[in-house]
């Protein structure tokens, strides 16, 4: 099983709220079982510590002084610093990883979300990307992300976490009870952004959504997204809101508009991480951008009561079938065109890098 944890905290000096976020990709046998989730997380954390203690340090690992680099994404600037520490991947590999993530976010939103992002890469123990935090800043934002010393280029190619953190830059800060919308957007948009930039396979993206989205469904005793602050309802409940909104916007506009248009409208109204906003106001701007009233009415339904969804019926309508560890598309399904519009937006992008069979 794979467990990856990401944390997000808005700087208390810039916002009155502090938030921590986690996303776990795979819980194949833990449906509706929060206790097992917690045990699983504890197990992974303990196991990670053991790994760090027991694994020999590979010869290739080198300890370097801090390296800084800046590059442009459209009119924005990504300023990267790599703290001194032992890493198996080269600085060049890290820069490639940063470019994949920033390109993915820029493709989805039509531009990079903020003028400047200060990205600090911190070497850590173990392997894989180990956790990130995103802060608002006066000129844009800053992200701190930990990379395990044994991380390989293949790990960076399949990483979702840096894209997830960068998506956080593209939405206003809301009060804590709405934290689900911030994590839900990052959880839902990240793989679609990577697909659109050609960095993830669309079948893999849908397979993962079908596998994981049920974790956002309400459990007994649920009091809606604004009042039920469990891990499942925060990350996948938020993603469920986004998915339902995306499908409904496409339905009401005959696939001419989607959630991407709503989120771009919010961002282009000035609603990035630097701004504190009322959620209802933000959703209203999103609805104005698509020309259909979807986000605000859906929020009214989901905010303070459980809102059950028949996900298997929706997968069938969209023409998505699980096939082993991937998904199969059924193009004769009633909403097959909606599925493609959600996936690709304007036009399909060719696969170019991470997630493709041919690695650069």
Binding site residues, Zn ion, CB under 5 A:
8, 21, 183, 186
Q: Are 280 and 302 in contact (CB under 8 A)?
A: no
Nearest to 286 by CA among 302, 298, 304, 273: 298
CB of 279 to Zn ion, least distance (A): 17
Question: Taking the complex as a whole, how short is the minimal distance between the CB of residue 335 and Zn ion, in angstroms?
Answer: 29
Helices of type H across 15-83: 34-54
**Torsion from C-alpha of 291, 164, 195, 111, nearest 10 degrees:** 60
Identify which of residues 162 and 247 has a Cβ nearer to Zn ion in the complex: 162
Closer to Zn ion by CB, 131 or 198: give it.
131
Residue 158 Cβ vs Zn ion, minimum distance, rounded to whole Å: 18
**How near is the Cβ of 132 to Zn ion at its closest, in Å?**
8
- Nearest approach in angstroms of CB 65 to Zn ion is 30
Q: Which residues contact 93 (CB under 8 A, 6 or more apart)?
A: 153, 156
Which DSSP category does 2 fall into? -
Give how far Cα 206 sits from Cα of 4, 235, 295, Å.
Answer: 19, 17, 22
Q: Given the complex with Zn ion, which of 21 and 338 has the nearer CB atom?
A: 21
Read off φ and ψ for residue 144, nearest 5 degrees: -115, 130
Taking CA atoms, 342 is separated from 50, 61, 171, 198, in Å, by 41, 41, 19, 15
Q: Give whichever of 186 and 228 is closer to Zn ion, judged by the CB atom.
A: 186
φ/ψ of residue 46, rounded to 5: -65, -45
The most distant pair of C-alpha atoms in the chain lies apart, rounded to whole Å, by: 58
The closest residue (CB) to Zn ion is 21
For helices 179-196 and 202-212, the axis angle rounded to 10 degrees is 150
φ, ψ of residue 78 to 5 degrees: the values are: -110, 115
Query: Of 109 and 315, which CB lies nearer to Zn ion in the complex structure?
Result: 109
CB 28 within 8 A of CB 50: no
Q: What's the closest the beta carbon of residue 168 comes to Zn ion, in angstroms? A: 6
**Rounded least distance, CB 195 to Zn ion, Å:** 19
Between 93 and 183, whose beta carbon lies closer to Zn ion? Answer: 183
Q: How far is the CB of 186 from Zn ion (least distance, A)?
A: 5
Give the strand order in the sheet containing 116-124.
Answer: 67-73, 76-82, 116-124, 140-148, 129-137
Please say which residue, 133 or 264, places its beta carbon nearer to Zn ion: 133
Give me the least distance between CB of 61 and Zn ion, in Å please: 29
Q: 37 or 250: whose CB is closer to Zn ion?
A: 37
Q: DSSP code of 229? A: -
**Closer by beta carbon to Zn ion, 8 or else 146:** 8
Other Cβ atoms within 10 Å of 244 Cβ, number: 19
């Amino acid at each position: 099983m794979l467990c990856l944890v990401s944390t997000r905290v808005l700087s208390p000096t810039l916002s009155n709220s502090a938030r921590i976020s986690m996303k776990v990709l795979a819980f194949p046998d833990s449906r509706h079982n929060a206790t097992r989730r917690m045990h699983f997380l504890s197990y992974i954390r303990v196991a990670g510590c053991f790994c760090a203690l027991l694994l020999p340090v590979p010869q290739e690992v080198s300890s370097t002084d801090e390296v800084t680099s800046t590059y442009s994404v459209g009119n924005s600037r990504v300023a990267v610093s790599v703290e001194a520490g032992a890493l198996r991947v080269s600085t060049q590999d890290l820069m490639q990883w940063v470019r994949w993530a920033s390109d993915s976010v820029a493709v989805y939103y039509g531009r990079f979300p903020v003028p400047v992002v200060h990205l600090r890469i911190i070497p850590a123990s173990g392997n894989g990307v180990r956790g990130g935090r995103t802060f608002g800043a006066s000129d844009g934002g800053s992200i701190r992300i930990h990379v395990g010393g044994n991380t390989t280029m293949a790990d960076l190619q399949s990483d979702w976490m840096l894209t997830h953190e960068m998506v956080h830059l593209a939405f206003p800060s809301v009060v804590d009870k709405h934290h689900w919308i911030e994590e839900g957007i990052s959880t839902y948009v990240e793989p679609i952004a990577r697909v659109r930039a050609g960095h993830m396979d669309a079948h893999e993206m849908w397979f993962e959504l079908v596998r994981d989205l049920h974790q956002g469904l309400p459990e007994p005793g649920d009091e809606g997204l604004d009042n039920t602050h469990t891990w499942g309802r925060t990350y996948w409940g938020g993603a469920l809101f986004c998915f339902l909104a995306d499908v409904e916007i496409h339905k009401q506009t005959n696939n001419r508009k989607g959630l991407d248009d709503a989120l771009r409208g919010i961002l282009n109204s000035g609603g990035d991480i630097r701004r504190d906003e009322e959620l209802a106001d933000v959703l209203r701007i999103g609805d104005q951008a698509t020309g259909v009233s979807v986000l605000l009415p859906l929020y009214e339904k989901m905010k303070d009561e459980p809102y059950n969804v028949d996900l298997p019926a929706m997968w069938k309508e969209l023409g998505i079938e699980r096939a082993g560890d991937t998904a199969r598309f059924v193009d004769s399904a009633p909403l097959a065109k909606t599925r493609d519009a959600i996936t690709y937006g304007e036009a399909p992008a060719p696969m170019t890098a991470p997630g493709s069979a041919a690695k650069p």
